[in-house]
Amino acid sequence: MLRNTTESYGLVSRALHWLLAALLLAVLVVGLVVDEMAKGPVRSATMNWHQSLGFLVLVLVAVRLLWRLVNPVPQPEGTALARRLAVLMHWVLYALMIVQPLSGWLMIQAHGHELALFGRIPLPVLVAESEPLEEVMEALHGSIWIVLAIAALGHAAAALKHHFIDRDRTLVRMLRG
């Protein structure tokens, strides 16, 4: 089944969830690797991969949010407090997955560089070159990834807790629907 029901996630939601998880992990790893590289063409190419994958995260989050608007969302399991926290955590993750790549995009452009997907497809220029804006975006981009990583780990830990301790269907719904 492609679409969600009130009880389970459909194939599209599950695919977007796991694709975003894989992309976030890839962006994080490539970003950490590129920070350790010496300046040069290999670092520039690797940085472009980091930027391009980050932009794909932004696009897929938008697709996921649109899909969520036209599909029922299975209600979280657990106590009333746990359900409220789960909903809050999902919205925090969405916000972080939007702000993180957007701050990177703005940082690049405020530094006076263009962003081209995979070195080929130029993205629209959103801001003019601006050193103060670049500094703000760099600080934001450098901080948000830590918050996003912690939130994603918390999200995964909560799913595992639901599966192994609470023994409910939270994780199973995202694995098999």
Q: Which two tokens mark 135?
A: 């500094």
| 33: Cβ contacts below 8 Å, ≥ 6 apart | 46
DSSP state string for the chain: --S--SSS--HHHHHHHHHHHHHHHHHHHHHHHHHTSPSSHHHHHHHHHHHHHHHHHHHHHHHHHHHHHTS--PPPPS-HHHHHHHHHHHHHHHHHHHHHHHHHHHHHHHTT---EETTTEEPPP-S---HHHHHHHHHHHHHHHHHHHHHHHHHHHHHHHIIIII--SHHHHHHT-
* pLDDT at site 96: 98
Letter for the amino acid at 151? A
pLDDT of 70: 95
Instruction: Write the CB contacts of 110 (distance below 8 Å, at least 6 apart in sequence).
Output: 127, 128, 129, 130, 131, 133, 134, 137
Domains of the chain: 11-175 (1.20.950)
CB atoms within 10 A of CB 165: 8
**Average pLDDT across the chain, whole number:** 96
Mean pLDDT over 75-94 rounds to 94
Position 177 confidence tier, pLDDT thresholds 50, 70, 90: confident
CB 103 within 8 A of CB 58: no
Would you state the structure tokens that stand for residue 165, as one six-digit string?
């301790």
- Mind listing the pLDDT tens digit for each residue in 33-59? 999 999 999 999 999 999 999 999 999
CA 140, CA 102: separation in Å to the nearest integer? 10
**What pTM value is reported for the model?**
0.94
